[in-house]
Amino acid sequence: MNTSTINASSFVYGLITFRDVMYVARASGLNASTDEGKTWHNALSSLQPEPTPITCLLSHSQGLLAGSVGGLFSSQDGEQWQAISLRKPVPTLSALAVVTARMANHNDVLLASSLADGVFRSDDNGQTWLAWNIGLFDLHVLSLIVTDGNIVIAGTETGLYVSYNAAKAWEAVEMPVGDAILSLACHQGSLYVGTETQGLYCLDANTLTKDTLGTRFLTSDTVDWEKLELPRGAINQVDIADEHRFVLVDETVYSYQQDVWTAMEKDVSCFAHMNHQLALGFLDGSVQVNNV
């Protein structure tokens, strides 16, 4: 087990790896570690003033994106960063995602969701950003994911929205319960939706294709939701894969082993599964990397 602490009062928002470097998004900024979390250094020193907090991170084919209360920042190597101009009023970013290009000579579409301004998109490698938000009635977006079929799902304060054209136009998806959607995950055609007070739901994401449905108003009658049995609490994060299932309920990480959800760690603010390791960000600002 490798542990290290840096700035004990700095809340951890997210963890990712990029080119074998671990990055942690904190209330105090962005830190990087090249030794699996043993030591950390400030990754945003190229920016003045340094943006804080860093609320979300994304690694993509062209580099890194970091979202903040004050906007968006990009880097090709993780060390040299530049600010990206977003329209005023400047959004507070909540999540980042990418729609991978399926055709040659097309760029990936980068997505940045915000707490009050919907979803911004860029199809020119982050040079320019526009918030199309057509049909996105709730602009308070808390979570964002892109499925294997390149369908974009946005979780908002009041429910779920789906986009079939890389976040240009959106349609509301009715859920069995109305609640804030805090977390999203997708695995093997199943969509996992974590709510604030109503638990974790699972849906066959293939039912969200336009060709299959062909309906004008997506109702809970037309899609089949399954509620997973979990301890009560806010589903803050979900990570489902072949070899693991992790859920952050309130501040406790649960793993699914032998048909049972088992509590692993408490006082966790976020986690990331990377290369057979589970990195945990704790409420006290510390980061712990465990082999799993």
Q: Which segment (2-10, 12-20, 132-140, 258-266) binds another protein by CB under 8 A? A: 132-140
For residue 186, give the amino acid letter. C
**Alpha carbon distance 65, 58 (integer Å):** 5
Q: Does 108 bind another protein (CB under 8 A)?
A: no
Please pick, from the candidates 165, 190, 252, 255, the single residue that binds another protein as defined by CB under 8 A. 165
| Of 162, 195, 163, 191, the residue nearest 177 (C-alpha) | 195
Please pick, from the candidates 21, 47, 169, 177, the single residue that binds another protein as defined by CB under 8 A. 169
| Of 214, 200, 283, 213, the residue nearest 245 (C-alpha) | 200
Q: Which segment (26-34, 66-74, 125-133, 262-270) binds another protein by CB under 8 A? A: 125-133
| Paired tokens of 96 | 């980042």
Residue 10 backbone class (left: φ over 0; alpha: ψ -120 to 50; beta: rest)? beta
Q: Does 256 bind another protein (CB under 8 A)?
A: no
**Alpha carbon distance 84, 211 (integer Å):** 36
Q: Which segment (96-104, 131-139, 265-273, 284-292) binds another protein by CB under 8 A? A: 131-139
Residues 32-61 that bind another protein (CB under 8 A): none
| Of 192, 131, 135, 190, the residue nearest 162 (C-alpha) | 135
Q: Does 263 bind another protein (CB under 8 A)?
A: no
Query: In this complex, which beta carbon is closest to another protein, that of residue 63 or of residue 155?
Result: 155
Query: In this complex, which beta carbon is closest to another protein, that of residue 69 or of residue 274?
Result: 69
| Of 99, 127, 133, 98, the residue nearest 114 (C-alpha) | 133
Count of alpha carbons within 13 angstroms of residue 291, beta-carbon side:
2
Query: In this complex, which beta carbon is closest to another protein, that of residue 48 or of residue 105?
Result: 105
Q: Does 168 bind another protein (CB under 8 A)?
A: yes
**Alpha carbon distance 284, 292 (integer Å):** 23
Q: Which segment (93-101, 129-137, 189-197, 279-287) binds another protein by CB under 8 A? A: 129-137
Minimal distance in Å, beta carbon 193 to another protein? 17
Query: In this complex, which beta carbon is closest to another protein, that of residue 180 or of residue 279?
Result: 180
Binding mask 77-106 for another protein (x = CB under 8 A): ----------xxx-----------------
**What separation in angstroms does the CA of 51 have from each of 43, 71, 237?**
11, 8, 24
Q: Is the CB of residue 136 less than 8 Å from the CB of residue 154?
A: yes
Residues 202-231 that bind another protein (CB under 8 A): 210-211, 214, 216-217
Provide the binding-site residues for another protein, judged by CB under 8 A: 87-89, 116-118, 130-139, 156-159, 164-165, 168-169, 172, 178, 210-211, 214, 216-217
